[in-house]
Amino acid sequence: MLRFLVFTDLHMEDCQDGPERLETILRHAKDEQVDFIVSLGDLCFPVEQHAHVMDRLNTCGIPVHHTIGNHDVQEWDIAHSLRFLGKERPWEAFEAGGYKFIILDTCYWKSENGAFHFPNKERIPSLYPWVPEEQLAWLKEQLADGKKYVIFSHMSLVNPFARRGIANKEAIQQLFEGKDILLCMNGHDHGSDLKWVNGVPYCTVSSASQFCWWGGDPPRVENIFYKDPLHVIVEIDDQEIRILGMESEFAGLTPEDVGVTDYRWNGVDVHPRAQSHTIKRQQ
């Protein structure tokens, strides 16, 4: 059985207790003896004051695989962020336990002049996010070897909520047709979700820190913190895929305080939990 831990959207710059949150995640990974850890992005601004985050991850004794999130390239070009994360390429694949894991980079925006990697410093109006042709061609090649795949991305490949998921969803979903895609996982939405599209499960993992609410009159922004660093452990065996989540509570403000009484934000569930799911594998 293969077991790995997935966390996302720690946003170290936004939470005072970020180091403790990271320690909690790493302790759990160690206790569960996971084979590897995946960060689905928005880890921390890639600046010197956060070098301790990478030092800690690089010395935790467990391989950590990084996904590029929009906040990882909010003010910095992709080359800088790759250096900070110790990543060679923005998208990549690795194998473990007989499965192939594919990490996509969805942090592109598109205008009439083409697709560009974030940052979109000039704030040019665009359709975003977007996976450009070059990466789609690479993905097609990666999916040509008849293996069983798990796909990671920062943005959802299916969330239709305003500008949350990638804009060219159908192009990706077409590439998955006839392939043995066990699971797709994403972050970015700071809540939980599981959607099935064409027989493929797409799981959104909640944030290890908070969700950012905006609204009101006059307009304001509030960080609604989850008390614990939400994350999941994923187990894959021959029969099923188990996504083992966790329950928490809010630390301070709650969704009710800002009028989110249905606990839905950005198209996902913002109860203070990482959802658990059991997915039977098709034999």
**Interface positions with Fe ion (CB under 5 A):** 9, 42, 69-70, 188
C-alpha 276, offset from chain centre = 16
- Three-state SS at 251: coil
> Shortest distance, CB of residue 93 to Fe ion, whole angstroms?
22
Which residue number places its CB atom closest to Fe ion? Answer: 42
269-280 burial: b if 16+ Cβ within 10 Å, else e: bbbbbbbebebe
> Shortest distance, CB of residue 34 to Fe ion, whole angstroms?
22
Nearer to Fe ion, 143 or 172 (CB): 172
Residue type, 94: F
> Shortest distance, CB of residue 187 to Fe ion, whole angstroms?
6
The sign of the CA dihedral 82, 87, 93, 96 is negative
Nearer to Fe ion, 155 or 241 (CB): 155
Element (H, E) at 277: strand 277-280
Nearer to Fe ion, 9 or 105 (CB): 9
CB distance 273 to 230 below 8 Å: yes
Nearer to Fe ion, 163 or 281 (CB): 163
Q: What is the CA angle 110-81-107, rounded to 5?
A: 25
Nearer to Fe ion, 135 or 186 (CB): 186
Nearer to Fe ion, 9 or 228 (CB): 9
> Shortest distance, CB of residue 153 to Fe ion, whole angstroms?
11
> Shortest distance, CB of residue 119 to Fe ion, whole angstroms?
13
CB distance 215 to 233 below 8 Å: no
Q: Exposed, middle or buried: residue 207 (CB in 10 Å: 0-12, 13-18, 19+)?
A: buried
Residue type, 113: N
